[in-house]
Amino acid sequence: MAAKEWRATGMHKIYGYMADVLTEPRWTRTDGTFSEKAELAADMTRSIVEGFQGEELDENSVSLTIKHFAAARV
């Protein structure tokens, strides 16, 4: 549904969603992560990408650039 809403406003690209895994609770961006569990964060990130982009990028897709290096330590 969110992809349809973005497309309806003319948006084709998102630079957003963080693939970071919460490893340091004092980090100020904890609310932008999906979990402190790597597997859960990976599953949620995969679902978000597939939901916006679909099985392949086409005219109905919203292309995503996931933020931050997935193996970064924060």
As a whole number of angstroms, the distance between CA 60 and CA 50 comes to 12
Could you tell me if residue 73 is inside a domain?
Answer: no
Q: Which domain holds residue 12?
A: 2-67
pTM over 0.75: yes
The tally of domains found in the chain comes to: 1
As a whole number of angstroms, the distance between CA 63 and CA 6 comes to 11
Could you tell me if residue 26 is inside a domain?
Answer: yes
As a whole number of angstroms, the distance between CA 69 and CA 30 comes to 16
pLDDT digits (tens, 9 = 90+) for 7-64: 999 999 999 888 888 887 787 877 788 888 888 988 998 999 999 998 888 988 999 9
